[in-house]
Chains A and B, each alone.
Chain A
Amino acid sequence: MSSPILDSQLLENRRHFFGHASTGLGVAALASMLNPDLLAKEPTRDAARIGGLPGIPHFAPKAKRVIYLLQSGAPSQTDLFDYKPSLEKLHLTELPESIRKGQRLTGMTARQKSFPVVKSPWKFRQHGQSGTWISDLMPHMAGVVDDICVIKSMHTEAINHDPAITFFQSGHQQPGRPSIGSWLSYGLGSETENLPSFVVMLSKNTFHQAQPLYDRLWGSGFLASKYQGVKFRSQGDPVLYLSDPAAGGNVSRRAMLDRLAKLNHLREQQIGDPEITTRIAQYEMAYRMQTSVPELVDTSDEPESTFKLYGDDAKQPGTHAANCLLARRLAERGVRFIQVFHRGWDHHSNVQKYLPTLAKETDQGSAALIADLKRRNMLDETLVIWGGEFGRTIYSQGNPKTFGRDHHPRCFSIWMAGGGIKPGISYGQTDDYCYNIAENPVHVHDFHATILHCLGINHERLTHRFQGRDYRLTDVHGRVMKDILV
């Protein structure tokens, strides 16, 4: 056993913004407090890393950060990305048992007597040099297909929302494990001392049957709670408790913090507990956040061209487009893992009515984010992901005329872009029914292994010992999908 006390306890007690050298940096923070010029400085994107585990990254990373646009509720692959001309003939025929193979269905359709195949009512076209097929529901994504990799052969074991999204977020269907973002904060530390390294944003939900989200989806599980995602909100304070309810201008806050630091410092001299120095530094960081966060979420400094790119939605806080724009601004400021949750894809009835709304809500912002990162030369170092927790059935839930689609874990589509992913390709194939995978399956564990790989991490070696066992995001599974890497 290597020194267990020093290994874990030191790490536990250091804030991840300052890392191992906390005493030194804490003192620096104290000094900077007395010198306001130091505070005014914008953080640079090349700022040294703060926190993280020694030896990580294991190899040179392609991606410095991740923006993950999670589409909760499960978008329909058949109607968006997985073009199936074979369905023209199969439309309204019964899904054969040879395809279904007695697979588990949800309680919603398990008792349905017939399973008629329903083709997508939307037209698909090829786009870009790559000739990637995209449905007409995603006109803006059609414009960036040469920059993305569509994976059509994702699969998972979970068939209900809660276990499925928990699995995607943490590698395990039951609650209790750390989320991807918290693993990365823990392993890689932060690139900014003005912002948290893991930020979560929720789009305002418009669909009446949307699935709920839960704090644990960005929780830190058994890792220290400082690694959990920090929610940036579109109502009230962007970060909880950011503003002073009795605000009387910065002068008084500064005056108070100076005296607070003085008193804490007096105490520290007596006791010698380095935690006090750390706390002084935390107050400084809090102070900086009171400036840096409002400045970050205020997009009024963006030129009109930005809103042309992201669409007018981007001016409405809490829309998917606005969150995509904020994601870019967070990425510019060194935030490691940015996750946007968009809800409302769970269309058990009336796909024709609801799906276009959801596609419209997400299409332009997602495409704009790719284009924006690219023109800023950031796409190469930013891994962008778009996808849900499973797919939807090719057979109709309920009446085929007003068809719905039930949960389908056996195959679904997501896309990844930038950060070491091959652009302009489609990966994996499904069968003629878009029901089973025909070629190159990608499991959730493989997806996780690949994300970590892009960030320079061997997924088998980012571990945390908890209750006597070395846990990892990919449990005891996961293959890096080399075929989709640059």
Chain B
Amino acid sequence: MLNTTTTISIASLIALLPSLTVVADEIQFNRDVRPILANHCFTCHGPDSATRKAGLRLDRRESAMQKAESGERTIVPGNLQASELLRRITAKDDDERMPPADGAKPLSAKQITTLKTWIEQGAAYQPHWAYIPPTQQKIPKVIGSAWPRNKIDHFVLARTERAGLKQAREASRETLIRRVSFDLTGLPPTLKHVDAFLSDESPKSYERMVDRYLNSPAYGEHMARHWLDLARYADSNGYQYDTEREQWVWRDWVIDAYNRNKSFDKFTIEQLAGDLLPNTTPQQRLATGFNRNHGITIEGGVIDEEYRTEYVMDRLVTTGEVWLGLTIGCARCHDHKFDPISQKEFYQLYAFFNRVPERGMRGFAPLERIPSPLAASQQQGHDAELAQLKAKLNDPNEIERRFTEWTKRIAETPGSGWSVLTPISMKSSGGSTLTKLDDNSILAGGKNPPTEVYEITARTNATDLTAIRLEALTHKSLPGGGPGRHTNSNFVLSEFEATAVSVKDASRKQTIKFVRAIADYSQAGYEIAKTIDGTVAGNNGWAVDGPTRKKPVTAMFIAAAPFGFKGGTELRFRLRHEASFGTHSVGRPRFSVTSDARDTLQLQGIPSEIRQILSKTPSQRTGDENKQLRDYFLANQTGSNPLQQRIAAIEKQKAAAVPATMIMQDMAQPRTTHILDRGQYNKPTDKVTVGVPAIFPPMAKNAPQNRLGFARWLVSPAHPLTARVAVNRYWQRLFGVGLVKTSEDFGVQGELPSHPELLDWLALEFIRSGWDIKSMHRLIVNSATYRQDAHVGAAAYGRDPNNRLLGRGPRMRIDAEEIRDAALAVSGRLVQRVGGKSVYPYQPKGLWLELNNRPGYSKAYPRGSGDDLYRRSIYTFWKRTVPSPMLKTFDAPEREFCTIHRSRTNTPLQALLLLNGPQFVEAARTLGQRMMTEGGRSIDDRITYGFRLVTARRPSNAELVVLCEYYTNDVKRYSNDQAAALKLLNVGESTFRTELNVAELAAFAGVARLLLNLDEAITKG
């Protein structure tokens, strides 16, 4: 089994691995000395000028060699006696010894020896490796010259040969196709693809297989899914109320960009500055959603600037981590403690992102309606159909035909429609100012009392009235332009009461009893019926989701018996607002009445004056009346016409498909940026202008001094970090660990690369290829390094548990999304539709409401059905405060901020999810059905079929025996207990094939459950 023939003691490897270098006499500053100085000295003697002690900085040679404030020379190269540093780190006296007792950790004897040797050898400094641009690397010579398949392998083999290790053999074909399939598409291979690959004996079969996966639409989805972690993408706004947003259109842009193989430099420039490109296109502006993916608060009472500052910080910190691999956020409050980025330089970078015309509170703007690139063809289809329908609709003959039809139909239907009432008196119990507007609505303003009763009177001459209509209209003077008077635009109408009084004889009075109330919209828990139930207790009343829905609403109240006195009726309305929320009054009510029959009532009826005209025969109508009719008809062309219904349906679809999405913009007059003392929004100090840190090459001379200039600077070939950081992340994704393990920190505190020459070579190759992402992946997965077997036995595993020397192939548990997608794929249930609005698959009941049940600000998880249950996990609705438990259990982050790498844990909660989660149980029973119906005739064949679907390989005899025995036992059990079998087969929404033997089907489902729980099922290796 073992390919590594050399026997090396564990002890010697542990000594070797920490620094990942062969022990050498020559001290190297970057490898041996800087980590000691950084961890033990830089806090007081490093780049941060504010906390620097004794004027000494040790991160720069020239200052370490100078005389310190004490007059002593800290380091004298080659002279231990004269070097104050050595005296201080070895001093016996606690007051003299460095680092001080209350400061950093003390130095070990070994570290002191290292520093001694270094000074003896001349105290050479090296610039930090990551700040030096990558250099052309010679391809190393190797002994095992037969092994390498491409240049990557030369670098890898040279390293293992130096360590005296050997490479593992090539993995089996089944392992390879499964590994490549997961790595490039996030999905397991189909059996058709496995069989084709196994039988393809041509020398280029592997490369062909790789290319097929690179060209699959699933590639873009899989690549995008990783990018979403970096981009802290979510479908909700985070912070407190975590309301919904519509950034999925941006998510579709990312999928599309990967599938089109947009080069990484363009991918970068468009996301960071697409809005600033000359002749910017909507799709380029859509790309800038990247930097609007941060959380946005709507908590009442926050200070706008405080949160706006946080958004800008988030943008800069995210951009720094994703492209520079640097923790520049440290310099928000003070000069960076380890890396050469001063606080001033931080705010110069900050200035690039500080020009968005945005707010802190509800800071959603700027927004733009841009279609998803994946919906473009669908969109075009819609547009063509709309154009056709509209042309038909506007054809004069067609209009005439419909007009005649309409006048005839309305004339034949009895009823008088709604008559709007003119208010004659308006009283407020709480002191609001009520003003009658021209349209007879009543606008409330002025004082906004906690509780309020409006008393409105109006007159009508009609009798036999059947219902009263109340419209709650919106107005620009009302908060948020909504229908209610509360700051969140909501109202709660506790109770609606009406009395009819005879105009002729005021003693004739009648309280109108209502049998029903109907509204075109009610907030959950605040239904319209609560306005006529006679109680106001417990905040009982009608509300309309003002915080999220700022639209007019209409209600009607149907009387138990017709009302209205001959000779005129005075109607007295009471609108009681008595909920404890305070200031929740209706902002602009309007009243109407009707005499139409109770069963024909509609909220929006034809006005009575139009009905009156229509009641005349066409020859009786005056020219004016005909014009009035025609105008009304043309202005209200909605309703029963099938053409219009079709248009409305398409437009609705279109509008939902193109929501307003958050994008970046720069203000015409940019904000002035200041350094913020301790990073606090309200402590601005010196003014700064845009700029990049001095440690890096400068921006091009003629570059625009804005985000566009910054983005182009990031992808200029001279930049030392961008290409390295990107290729390292690709490596990390494929191998589990990057060449630089700290993929989020290439700075001084980060780890040194395990294969520095390989990293440089890959970075330059990436730039040389024109930043071609697919090519880079092709290069890596085609290497012999990638194709190695991961199965090397416990001893070899133990020698290099993390495979930092790349002596074997990658093996790791797949990510949460891949686990779910794989279960769906092997069950045959996966719906592979690319892009679109996020969906709501299964999740345990109550998870949303148990964290937030505040009326108007909360809702239950709107579980989807049908296809929505079986889409890829990238489309699962991502709510920041309650991420999908299916994903979170397997280490998906909350997406509150940029995540460069997820943790990979192994917990009992994961076992419970795979064993019991309805999504997985349903997938298993469907897989069982596949085994039974597609897997052949014998039990062995059927089980083998399922096993291959899940693992791509055939089970060993020992494995098959275990599974068959399990199956046989279960068939017996289920034959005696049909109820248990049906219980299993009914988990989930989909149905099972009833013509199959229930006991056998359940037993296969049981085997499938076992298969989906195998370690191998959730591991690529």
Complex alpha-carbon distance, A196 and B1, angstroms: 38
B844 engages A248 (CB within 8 Å): no
B910 engages A282 (CB within 8 Å): yes
Q: Does B446 contact A (CB under 8 A)?
A: no
Q: Which of B931-964 contact A (CB under 8 A)?
A: 956, 958-959, 962-963
CB contact between A283 and one of B299, B813, B908, B1009 (< 8 Å): that residue: B908
Q: Which of B205-213, B591-599, B789-797 contacts A (4 or more CB under 8 A)?
A: B789-797
A240 engages B912 (CB within 8 Å): yes
- C-beta contact mask, B315-349 vs A, less than 8 Å → 1, else 0? 00000010000010110000001110000000000
- C-beta contact mask, A373-405 vs B, less than 8 Å → 1, else 0? 000000000000000000000000011001000
Q: Does B804 contact A (CB under 8 A)?
A: yes
Contacts of A219 in B (CB 8 A): 894
Complex alpha-carbon distance, A214 and B888, angstroms: 14
B915 engages A236 (CB within 8 Å): no
- C-beta contact mask, A28-56 vs B, less than 8 Å → 1, else 0? 00000000000000000000000000000
Q: Does A143 contact B (CB under 8 A)?
A: no
Q: Which of B729-749 contact A (CB under 8 A)?
A: 741-742, 744-745, 747-749
A225 engages B850 (CB within 8 Å): no
Complex alpha-carbon distance, A349 and B581, angstroms: 8
B921 engages A266 (CB within 8 Å): no
Contacts of B980 in A (CB 8 A): 246, 248
Complex alpha-carbon distance, A237 and B970, angstroms: 26
Task: Give me 28 A-to-B residue pairs in the complex whose CB atoms sit less than 8 angstroms apart, sorted by A's number.
Answer: A5-B17, A5-B802, A14-B906, A15-B908, A107-B301, A210-B853, A212-B852, A212-B881, A216-B894, A240-B889, A241-B885, A252-B973, A259-B966, A260-B1010, A263-B962, A264-B1014, A264-B1015, A271-B797, A276-B1015, A278-B906, A282-B908, A283-B1013, A286-B911, A289-B908, A398-B582, A467-B329, A468-B330, A469-B337
Complex alpha-carbon distance, A213 and B241, angstroms: 9
Query: A6-B17, A175-B238, A469-B749 given as contacts; is B881 within 8 A of A349 (CB)?
Result: no
Complex alpha-carbon distance, A161 and B295, angstroms: 16
Binding site for B on A (CB under 8 A): 1-6, 9-10, 12-15, 17, 104, 106-108, 159-162, 174-176, 196, 202, 204-205, 208-216, 219, 223-226, 230, 233, 235-237, 239-248, 252-253, 255-256, 259-260, 262-264, 266-268, 270-276, 278-280, 282-283, 285-286, 289-290, 349-350, 353, 398-399, 402, 407, 465, 467-469
Contacts of A242 in B (CB 8 A): 912, 916
Residue of A nearest to B17 (CB): A5
A468 engages B17 (CB within 8 Å): no
Q: Does B918 contact A (CB under 8 A)?
A: yes
Complex alpha-carbon distance, A111 and B240, angstroms: 23
B18 engages A3 (CB within 8 Å): yes
Contacts of B977 in A (CB 8 A): 248
Complex alpha-carbon distance, A406 and B168, angstroms: 67
Contacts of B605 in A (CB 8 A): none
Contacts of A223 in B (CB 8 A): 903
Complex alpha-carbon distance, A104 and B17, angstroms: 54
CB contact between B581 and one of A208, A225, A285 (< 8 Å): that residue: A208
A212 engages B858 (CB within 8 Å): yes
A17 engages B908 (CB within 8 Å): yes
Q: A175-B239, A260-B1014 are in contact. List 12 more A-B contacts (CB 8 A).
A: A1-B36, A175-B896, A202-B850, A212-B857, A224-B905, A225-B888, A242-B916, A264-B1015, A273-B790, A278-B906, A399-B450, A468-B745
Contacts of A349 in B (CB 8 A): 450, 580, 582
Q: Does B904 contact A (CB under 8 A)?
A: yes
B798 engages A272 (CB within 8 Å): yes
Complex alpha-carbon distance, A271 and B795, angstroms: 10
Min CB gap A460→B, angstroms: 10
Q: Does B987 contact A (CB under 8 A)?
A: yes
A107 engages B302 (CB within 8 Å): yes
Contacts of A271 in B (CB 8 A): 790-793, 797, 811, 1021
Complex alpha-carbon distance, A154 and B330, angstroms: 29
Complex alpha-carbon distance, A213 and B956, angstroms: 50
**3 closest A-B pairs by CB:** A468-B749, A212-B852, A272-B794
B907 engages A1 (CB within 8 Å): no
B906 engages A15 (CB within 8 Å): yes
- C-beta contact mask, B1001-1021 vs A, less than 8 Å → 1, else 0? 000001001100111100001
Contacts of B792 in A (CB 8 A): 271-272
Query: A9-B801, A245-B921 given as contacts; is B580 within 8 A of A350 (CB)?
Result: yes
Residue of B nearest to A256 (CB): B1010
Residue of A nearest to B538 (CB): A208
Complex alpha-carbon distance, A9 and B310, angstroms: 32
Contacts of B916 in A (CB 8 A): 241-245
CB contact between A255 and one of B794, B958, B969 (< 8 Å): that residue: B969
B450 engages A398 (CB within 8 Å): yes
Contacts of A236 in B (CB 8 A): 844-846
Q: Does B750 contact A (CB under 8 A)?
A: yes
CB contact between A259 and one of B297, B794, B963 (< 8 Å): that residue: B963
> Helix, strand, loop or mixed for chain B's interface?
loop
Q: Does B8 contact A (CB under 8 A)?
A: no
Residue of A nearest to B982 (CB): A246
A226 engages B855 (CB within 8 Å): no
CB contact between B854 and one of A12, A209, A248, A255 (< 8 Å): that residue: A209
CB contact between A226 and one of B801, B853, B857, B907 (< 8 Å): that residue: B907
CB contact between A212 and one of B327, B748, B854 (< 8 Å): that residue: B854
Contacts of A239 in B (CB 8 A): 909, 912
Residue of A nearest to B924 (CB): A246
Contacts of A10 in B (CB 8 A): 801
Q: Does B984 contact A (CB under 8 A)?
A: yes
Min CB gap A278→B, angstroms: 5
Min CB gap A388→B, angstroms: 15
Complex alpha-carbon distance, A402 and B581, angstroms: 12
Min CB gap B480→A, angstroms: 14
Contacts of A285 in B (CB 8 A): 908, 911
Q: Does B14 contact A (CB under 8 A)?
A: yes
Query: A226-B907, A239-B912 given as contacts; is B962 within 8 A of A262 (CB)?
Result: yes
Min CB gap A346→B, angstroms: 10
Complex alpha-carbon distance, A141 and B622, angstroms: 83
Min CB gap B9→A, angstroms: 16
Contacts of A226 in B (CB 8 A): 903, 905-907
Q: Which of B876-890 contact A (CB under 8 A)?
A: 880-883, 885, 888-889
Q: Does B917 contact A (CB under 8 A)?
A: yes
Residue of B nearest to A264 (CB): B1015
Query: A10-B801, A235-B845, A282-B911 given as contacts; is B241 within 8 A of A212 (CB)?
Result: yes
Contacts of A216 in B (CB 8 A): 880-881, 894, 896
Complex alpha-carbon distance, A274 and B35, angstroms: 31
Contacts of B581 in A (CB 8 A): 208-209
- C-beta contact mask, B974-998 vs A, less than 8 Å → 1, else 0? 0001001001100100000000000
A202 engages B851 (CB within 8 Å): yes
A235 engages B846 (CB within 8 Å): yes
Complex alpha-carbon distance, A271 and B339, angstroms: 41
Q: Does B539 contact A (CB under 8 A)?
A: yes
Residue of A nearest to B339 (CB): A468
Complex alpha-carbon distance, A236 and B861, angstroms: 15
Q: Does B461 contact A (CB under 8 A)?
A: no
B984 engages A246 (CB within 8 Å): yes
Min CB gap A10→B, angstroms: 7
A469 engages B14 (CB within 8 Å): no
Residue of B nearest to A398 (CB): B450
B956 engages A467 (CB within 8 Å): no
Contacts of B761 in A (CB 8 A): none
Q: Which of A14, A241, A274 has the most CB of B within 10 A?
A: A241
Min CB gap A30→B, angstroms: 13
Contacts of B300 in A (CB 8 A): 106-108
Complex alpha-carbon distance, A245 and B987, angstroms: 7
B301 engages A407 (CB within 8 Å): yes
A4 engages B903 (CB within 8 Å): no
Q: Does B751 contact A (CB under 8 A)?
A: yes
Complex alpha-carbon distance, A224 and B892, angstroms: 11
